[in-house]
Structure 1
Amino acid sequence: MGPAVRAALEITPAAGTYERIVDITTVGRRTGRPRRIEIFFYRCSGRVYLCSGSSGRPVSWYANLLADPHFTFHLKHGVRADLPATASPVTDPVERRAVLAEIVADLNQPHNPGTISRPTRLEDWLDSRLMLVTFG
């Protein structure tokens, strides 16, 4: 992974909305066909995560990654790269709470990188679908 790609993945809380948006391509769990969507990614404790938000509704990308955890992480703003990746659901309650607390703190900054209604509360995010991303 080159330095420009590494820098694009190492976003900080100062990153704006534009820098946090990527596409991911998963394999459809029913169709077996590629499915590409736009999604925010987050960096917490030096690791990259995908998170669905706080609706509690099922989301296809998450179900697809549970069925087949291999996907492509597409950087598209500033740096363009298609990175092979693997997703792991974050299910441990203590780990989930810690990661989601970082995401919520990040979203509640004055510059509102997630362009969501603020302030947002950790309790509203505890039912989010959360995946750890590993590259390679």
Structure 2
Amino acid sequence: MTPDQEAADYGYLTTIGRVTGRPHTIEIWFARHGGTVYLLAGDGANSDWCRNVEENAAVEFVVDDEIVGRRASPVTDPAEDALARRVVVGKYQAGYGEDLTEWRDDATPFAVDLG
């Protein structure tokens, strides 16, 4: 992932629908830390994309028209959970007009492996 990609406002996550088997793409905030991109599901793990990832970890995560990740998973480790929340909110809070603390605390973190 290039510095320009890392700084992009949005990424695009394509999952495979667990019912339809069809690709399902969403636009989402993200932040990179090391070899991982973190996403926060604002609607919690009940979002369609979250349930799709839990059913099938094979995804495409695209930034600036380039696939940068192909595998996603829910974050279950408490330390990684805290890191995911911190890096995503850290990327967006300064440019966002409202406090993201409640969203940060309520969202469900997911990890996308880069490469």
SS at match of 2:87: helix
Alpha-carbon spacing, 1:83–1:107, altered in 2? closer, same or farther (3 Å): closer
Provide the identity percentage.
31
Alignment equivalent of 1:39, drawn from 28, 31, 40? 28
Partner of 1:72: 60
More strand by share: 2
What runs of 5+ residues in structure 2 fail to find an aligned partner?
A: none
CA-CA distance at 1:84 after TM superposition: 5.0
**TM-score with structure 2 length normalisation?**
0.79
**TM-score with structure 1 length normalisation?**
0.69
Matches within 5 A, 1:21-32: 21-32=10-21
**Pairwise CA RMSD:** 2.4
The structure with more radius of gyration: 1
Asked if the contact 1:97–1:126 (Cα under 8 Å) also holds between the matched residues in 2, the reply is: no
- 1:91 and 2:70 are equivalent in the alignment: no
* Count of paired positions: 115
Report runs of 4+ in structure 1 exceeding 6 Å deviation: none
